[in-house]
Structure 1
Amino acid sequence: MKSGETRDTSAEGPDIKDLSKRNPIGKVAILDITDKMDLSDELKAYYNHLEMLVLERTEELRSINEQLQKEMSRRERAEQLLRHEKDRLQNYIDVVGVMIIVLDTDKCVSLINLKGAQLLGYDKDEIIGKNLIANFIPKDEQNKLNAQFSMCFKGDLTRNYENIVYTRAGEKKLISWTNVPLLDEQGRVIGCISAGEDITDIRLSEKKLRRYADELKCSDELKLLFIDILRHDLLNPANIIKGYSEYLLETMAREEEASIVEKIYHQNEKLIKIINAASMFGKLETTEMINFEELDLLDLLRKVSSGFAPLLEKKGMTLECPATGSYPVYANPIMEEVFSNLISNAIKFSPEGSQVVLDLEDKGSSWKVTFTDSGIGISDEHKEVIFTRFKRVSGEGTKGCGLGLAIVKKIVELHGGEVGVYNNPSGKGSVFWMQINKA
């Protein structure tokens, strides 16, 4: 531009002053840019904050997912373990010899073992889910069984009640039940475990046994009656023979005839003893009901042995009983028959002038009575046989019917005792013994 020329500013744009005049706010364009810059920073900060929140939430979700995966794994393992334990429980109850049924509170079967399924005649799957009472119990017994289960669902254990169940084949089985309440973790009753035993055959056997016992009782009564009649009818003529024989022996003068009558008399005496022994043994075989009272064995022994004084005197023998004191037992007075038989045998099988020793020993809970003789003795093979009826070991100059020791053994056994024989420690003779519980 040349000197002196005036500059035209209109073409260069509006003057700042003019702009200021037109925009009284002044520096408006600069202020707007600053606000925009501030807003952008806020957006960035907010975005960063959102990004941080998303990251935090993502981390939380990842952690929750890991925990969920672990929980699912634990649950899966628990379910596997539960299935394994359930299978093992099923195996256990399948080998049990009684019926095992688990019922829910609606009395529907949730579990049954192999024995139960076999007894009812079904597969397990055909029974599971079915109502036990409605499907397997006769109508006339359903109310009784419902009452039992109601008690169980109240928490009560019920045992040993019986009812009929129907099998698939239509058979009736008598079952003896025991019910146990099934509880959850909080102790609430959620069902019932029932164990049932088939007692059908047992009850049938019991009926047969009762019928057989009745028949035996009737048979025993008839046998006792027969024994009494036989004894009465045999003893009557035997006693008549005895009476006439005694009269003839007293009045008969001729020695030869008296000898014949004496033989008749002794044979008749033997017959009377056989009849009495057989009658006693027959009754001992047919009844176990004998009355017991407190007795003293030593008193009883002395009482019985005193009756043998004439026989001992006749053979020039002595009888010793060194025992002293009290020997109480609960026994029947028939025990006298035992002592009488054993003392009689000891005298019978001992030589003249010998000694018989009776003694009692304390064996703790029982008394042992011994009868020691110095007679012919008994061989080992005969020690058991001699206590059997009609079995007798013959000895020189001895006679018998083989019932005495059998009666001894039976009476002692009725008292819960034992009897036996062993060799005399002195080297000759025998020691018969009996053992009976103290009072």
Structure 2
Amino acid sequence: MKHSFLKSIDWISVLLYLLLVMCGWVAIFATTYTDLNVTSVFDLNQFYGKQMLFIGLSFVLIAFILALDSKFYMNFSVAFYIFAIVLLAGLFVFGKETNGAKAWYAIGSITVQPSEFAKVATALAFSRYVSDIHTDVRRTPHLVRAIAIVIVPAVLILLQPDVGSLLVFFSLAFVLFREGMPSALLFYLFLAAVVFISALKFGTTLTIIGCGVLITLYSFWHKRSTNRIPFQNIFILSVLCLVTALATHPVYENVLKQHHRNRLNLWLRLETDPQKIAAMKRDFAYNTNMAESAITSGGTLGKGFLQGTRTKGSFIPEQHTDYIFTTIGEEWGFAGTAVVVVLFALLLLRLIALAERQKTKFARVYGYCVVSILFVHFAINIGMVISLIPTIGIPLPFFSYGGSGLWAFTILLFIFLKLDAASKY
């Protein structure tokens, strides 16, 4: 029976996972290596030594995950979710503040970031609710409850504040669309973003007046076209616009970090002081320019392993974490970055194929949660490094240094591979 179970594991996904983790460790080694600090790859005084330990513990986690009954994850999903919420709330009392965010628990020299594990717990609870036989996300009450499962941890993370992790939770909206959520919600999300930007640029009062005029015009147009007034739509639009407009400045002042505010100030041209504008541009340009220089300097085939001059010169901040992709670009060139992108794409496509073949709705929904979370991390991190999107602190799965991130991604992936194997076993 053990032999049959092992045959049921999707070894293609496992192989892709191992390749990504191996490439990630090599990149971390290259980023933190010097001739003076290499005594052993297991040296726990160095980032690469600690990451090797984290990888070893990941294999222990994998064995534990695969050993448990697959029903355990659905049956205890609510308990995991509640525990994650408690951990997130506890940060405001017991959390360690780093770079202006209370996002870590410190136990001696060890730090743990609960928001990473909250993604797994939220995905499980979300999948449990959406897959329930009585749940239909096309119905508003059920849709609201599903969204609430995501909103609760998202709000706690926003208050830390950790905007990067917050964005990942909204990736679960992709899953709702797969399960039949009305496309009108996309319009509401877009409208909220427009109202937020408008309130910053033109002020709360003018934005509310503008929204009121547009909603009134919409109601007249709809009545003329259908001979009835869309009271439900008017109510939703009015509440959404009013709440977003009133919440814009409190969120901007009290939730967003200073560098987020600076970026919005530059983009919307809210800052008028020439000296402050020049200083903000220099700060933002440094990280972006250094990352771009490192990647482009690698050319087609790269400078070679441990030969990255910008990497060795420590020109790029947080290169072993959020900017780890620049090491691949400089040392392995376009060929190396293409291989990494292809590996991620193959893993995501494989997981989509596995999700589609699941016999239970819980496993299918959870599979799409895994794909959505991994995709958003992958797309935002690489997009940030190559300047396609604004700088956002978010790790590259299986690559960025850190135990919390690696373990959370490992747990997220292998719970799904366990569910998939159980469906064939």
Common fold by TM > 0.5: no
TM-score where L is the length of structure 1: 0.21
Which structure has the highest strand share of the two?
A: 1
TM-score where L is the length of structure 2: 0.22
User: Larger Rg: 1 or 2?
Assistant: 1
More RCO (CA 8 Å, sep 6+):
2
